[in-house]
């Protein structure tokens, strides 16, 4: 810019400088918003760990960026309170978090009954139906979540919505066996409408490959889908040969903690 500015007329110089000022203030605002969201994730995670993790139990560790804060808090509590906790991971990432924090690593073979599972979500609707799998870990997450009566979800306020799809626009993740991805894609689009593109990797040529060696379709469902129950849609999706699991978590969350912008945390339980 220092090279270009001297060659410009006064009016253009003002325009360039004004743009720079606008960019910097936009950047500052984006950073401030990001910090608020990160803080909201952190407080939700801390509260959930404090309320739900008991000594001498096995706990499922979810995946994603919010769970990182839960693991931080869990590691803190284990050290300070000398807790004996076995941690069962829901993904490669969760396993690494457990090991990195020197926590005790377990699995479902030795610990098939978990006291609670703490996990994130991509979106939570008013009935606590969740979309999960934005990070590709839905199948192991659902298996681990099925091993506890207490699936505790942690999220920032941007994940809270009335209807699925209000906030999370990428679609419902569906894990598929690689050889079946085109037939499954065609069936989903024919039966339910919308689009179900295969998720492509960002730092690798080709598709995202899950921890289970499968592909992910992100089903961008049409608006009329909301006229049906997610349960019946999920049941139909699961029956398509080649579908391993969906990112729809229905009647699974026992409590959802939302971190809010004002620094408080609210929690929601399913309507009875
Ligand atoms: O596959 C990823 C998991 O379902 C995550 O729990 C979900 O995507 C939420 O992740 P984050 O806490 O990063 O928003």
Q: In this structure, is residue 183 part of a structural domain? A: yes
Tell me how far the alpha carbon of residue 253 lies from the centroid of ligand 1, in angstroms: 14
Domain interval for residue 107: 34-261
Instruction: Please determine, for the modelled complex, whether the ipTM score is greater than 0.95.
Output: yes
CB burial of 153-162 (b: ≥16 within 10 Å; e: otherwise) equals bbbbbbbbee
Q: In this structure, is residue 126 part of a structural domain? A: yes
Give how many domains the chain has, as a whole number: 1
Q: In this structure, is residue 95 part of a structural domain? A: yes
Q: Which of 76, 109, 123, 141 is catalytic?
A: 141
Q: In this structure, is residue 267 part of a structural domain? A: no
Tell me how far the alpha carbon of residue 87 lies from the centroid of ligand 1, in angstroms: 18
Tell me how far the alpha carbon of residue 234 lies from the centroid of ligand 1, in angstroms: 19
- CA nearest ligand 1 atom 2, residue: 135
Active site residue 38: no
- CA nearest ligand 1 atom 10, residue: 64
Residues 6 or more apart whose CB falls under 8 angstroms from that of 142 comprise: 132, 245, 249, 252
Q: In this structure, is residue 1 part of a structural domain? A: no
Q: In this structure, is residue 25 part of a structural domain? A: no
The closest of 154, 192, 158, 152 to 172, measured between CA atoms, is: 192
Residue-level pLDDT, tens digit, the chain, 272 residues: 555 666 778 878 788 888 877 777 767 766 677 799 999 999 999 999 999 999 999 999 999 999 999 999 999 999 999 999 999 999 999 999 999 999 999 999 999 999 999 999 999 999 999 999 999 999 999 999 999 999 999 999 999 999 999 999 999 999 999 999 999 999 999 999 999 999 999 999 999 999 999 999 999 999 999 999 999 999 999 999 999 999 999 999 999 999 999 999 999 999 98
- CA nearest ligand 1 atom 9, residue: 121
In this structure, what DSSP letter does residue 207 have? Answer: B
Residues with CB under 6 A from ligand 1: 62-66, 119-122, 132-138, 141
Here the CATH number for the domain that contains residue 96 is 3.40.50.1360
- CA nearest ligand 1 atom 8, residue: 134
Q: In this structure, is residue 19 part of a structural domain? A: no
Q: In this structure, is residue 164 part of a structural domain? A: yes
Tell me how far the alpha carbon of residue 193 lies from the centroid of ligand 1, in angstroms: 25
Specify the ligand 1 atom closest to the Cα of 136.
Answer: 1
Q: Which pairing describes strands 116-119 and 57-61: parallel, antiparallel, or unpaired?
A: parallel
């Amino acid at each position: 810019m220092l090279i270009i500015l001297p060659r410009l007329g006064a009016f253009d110089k003002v325009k360039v400088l004004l743009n720079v000022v606008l960019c910097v203030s936009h950047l500052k605002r984006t950073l401030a918003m990001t910090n608020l969201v990160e803080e909201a994730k952190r407080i939700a995670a801390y509260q959930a760990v404090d309320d739900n993790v008991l000594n001498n139990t096995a706990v499922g560790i979810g995946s994603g960026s919010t769970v990182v804060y839960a693991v931080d808090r869990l590691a803190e509590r284990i050290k300070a309170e000398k807790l004996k906790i076995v941690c069962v991971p829901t993904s490669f990432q969760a396993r690494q978090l457990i090991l990195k924090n020197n926590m005790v690593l377990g699995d479902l073979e030795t610990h098939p009954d978990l006291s609670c599972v703490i996990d994130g979500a991509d979106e939570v609707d008013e009935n606590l139906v969740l979309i999960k799998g934005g990070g590709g870990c839905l199948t192991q997450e659902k298996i681990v979540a099925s091993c506890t009566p207490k699936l505790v979800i942690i999220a920032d306020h941007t994940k809270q919505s009335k209807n699925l799809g209000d906030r999370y626009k990428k679609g419902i993740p569906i894990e598929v066996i690689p050889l079946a991805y085109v037939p499954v894609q065609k069936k989903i689009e024919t039966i339910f409408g919308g689009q179900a593109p295969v998720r492509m990797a960002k730092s690798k040529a080709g598709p995202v490959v899950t921890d289970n060696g499968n592909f992910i379709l992100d089903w961008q469902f049409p608006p009329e889908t909301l006229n049906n129950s997610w349960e019946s849609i999920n049941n139909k999706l699961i029956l398509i040969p080649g579908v391993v699991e969906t990112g729809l978590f229905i009647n699974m969350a026992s409590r959802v903690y939302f971190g809010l912008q004002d620094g408080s945390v609210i929690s929601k339980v399913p309507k009875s």
